Amino acid sequence: MVEREDYQVAAIGRIAGIGQQGVAILTLEVKGGYYRVTIDLSSETVKSVEERVSG
């Protein structure tokens, strides 16, 4: 992921059970707000984007 002036990557995580690919979670800071992006790793699709009160 490439960071630009208008957003920063605040956190990256991965959740998976044993033998499962699971999901990746990115937290982005965009113009003072935080957004959590959940990605299904098996299908490589974005499952949700949520605005968060804090990182």
Query: How high is the pLDDT of residue 21?
Result: 75
Query: How high is the pLDDT of residue 47?
Result: 93
- SS3 for 10-26 is EEEEEECCCCCCCEEEE
Domain assignment of residue 36, yes or no = yes
List, for residues 12-51, the tens digit of each pLDDT value: 777 766 555 788 888 888 888 899 999 988 898 999 999 9
Query: How high is the pLDDT of residue 4?
Result: 62
Q: Is the pLDDT reported for residue 1 higher than 60?
A: no
Exposed/middle/buried for 6, CB within 10 Å: 0-12, 13-18, 19+?
exposed
Q: How many structural domains does the chain have?
A: 1
Q: Following CA atoms 53, 29, 47, 20 in sequence, which dihedral angle do they give, to the nearest 10 degrees? A: -100
Q: Is the pLDDT reported for residue 54 higher than 90?
A: no
Q: Which residue range is the domain that position 34 belongs to? A: 7-52
Domain assignment of residue 20, yes or no = yes
Domain assignment of residue 2, yes or no = no
Q: Is the pLDDT reported for residue 55 higher than 60?
A: no
Domain assignment of residue 1, yes or no = no
Q: Residue 39's beta-bridge partner residues?
A: 24, 46
Domain assignment of residue 17, yes or no = yes
